[in-house]
Structure 1
Amino acid sequence: MRRQRVQSGTEWEKRVGYSRAVRVGRRVFVAGTTATDDSGAVLDGDAYEQTARVLRNVERALTEAGASLDDVVRTRMFVTDADDWEQVGKAHEEAFGDVRPAATMVEVSRLVDPAMCVEIEVDAVVDGPEDE
């Protein structure tokens, strides 16, 4: 099966050796994504605002891989403060609505940048033939 890589163009992908997303067949895997803009600057906002930005970044990667938020089957949310679960959950629900992917949220001691309070990775499955 052919591997399609999606790059966002940030310096980190090359420095760390990863892709923003990878599609193999019908499956799309989006790497841990944070609330950064196109230049890589972290959004200065609360957990809700950061989560909403993260999910817009995820959606852009999915689109480039030929998928959408409707195709997401699993999310993993890493938060630096579990007390933010309601704000993170609200943004997650607004993005996914009736899609309702399997979801995990865990508290971590920190993320790469101290300004980051949430990082999310997703798995998606696009409709189509299995061997696509």
Structure 2
Amino acid sequence: MPRATKHLLIGGLIIMATGISAAAAANELSIVNPPTLGDPTPNGYSTAVIVPAGARLAYVSGQGGQDSTGALSPDFAAQVKQAYANLRAALDALGARPDQVAKLTVFVVDHDMAKLGVLTQSVKEMFGEALPAQTLVPVPRLAIDPMLFEVEAVVVMN
């Protein structure tokens, strides 16, 4: 196999890229949505994201829906909106932009399809077309009982 060939294994999907793409050369994330897997973007995520060589990674701990006083709304949509505002504040503190987020993991208490709609809308509002890879994990509860949602992120720092 040629030396310039790179492999990326993501959940059983092997993505092969030869050489360095223009995006990688510019230290940008490369989004991969293979047509054989269907389009994930209506659900607010991308199948895979390639991180450029030499990039630094930052890991943002789970951000819940607490406001600056620690208060949590009992409303799921309000918690999601606040959690993404908290994530944005963490990105700002890092000097990072939403388009530098490679991967999100979200945790949802008592997940259902109505909640998926709220999540998809929030992700699209924050990330636009640069949708990161994402995993949703339904959970029975989170660290604090009234917490209904949490989002953590992997950020690529140039």
Same fold (TM over 0.5): yes
- Residues 25-69 of structure 1, C-alpha deviations (whole Å, 9 max, x = no match): 721110011011112222x15322211111110111111111121
Structure 2: which 5+ residue stretches go unaligned? 1-54
Q: Which residue does the alignment assign to 1:63?
A: 92
Q: Which residue does the alignment assign to 1:103?
A: 134
Q: Distance in 1 between matches of 2:74 and 2:120?
A: 16
Select the residue among 147, 150, 153 that pairs with 1:116: 147
Q: Distance in 2 between matches of 1:48 and 1:93?
A: 14
Q: How does 1:26-45 map to 2 (within 5 A)?
A: 26-42=56-72, 44-45=73-74
What is the count of residue pairs matched by the alignment? 102
Q: Which residue does the alignment assign to 1:53?
A: 82
Q: Distance in 2 between matches of 1:111 and 1:77?
A: 11
Instruction: Name the TM-score, length of structure 2 as normaliser.
Output: 0.60
Percentage of pairs with the same residue: 32
Matching residue's letter, 1:115:
P
* Structure 2 residue 101 is matched with structure 1 residue 78: no
Q: How many Å apart are 1:89 and its aligned residue?
A: 1.8
Q: Quick check: which one's helix share is greater?
A: 1
The higher radius of gyration belongs to 2
* Structure 2 residue 129 is matched with structure 1 residue 91: no
| TM-align CA RMSD | 1.4
- Residues 63-120 of structure 1, C-alpha deviations (whole Å, 9 max, x = no match): 1111121210100000002211111221112111111000010100101222211000
Structure 1: which 5+ residue stretches go unaligned? 1-24, 128-132
Q: Distance in 2 between matches of 1:90 and 1:47?
A: 13
User: Which secondary structure state, in structure 1, belongs to the residue aligned with residue 141 of structure 2?
Assistant: coil
Q: Distance in 2 between matches of 1:123 and 1:90?
A: 20
Structure 1 runs of 4+ with >6 Å offset: none
User: Which secondary structure state, in structure 1, belongs to the residue aligned with residue 129 of structure 2?
Assistant: helix
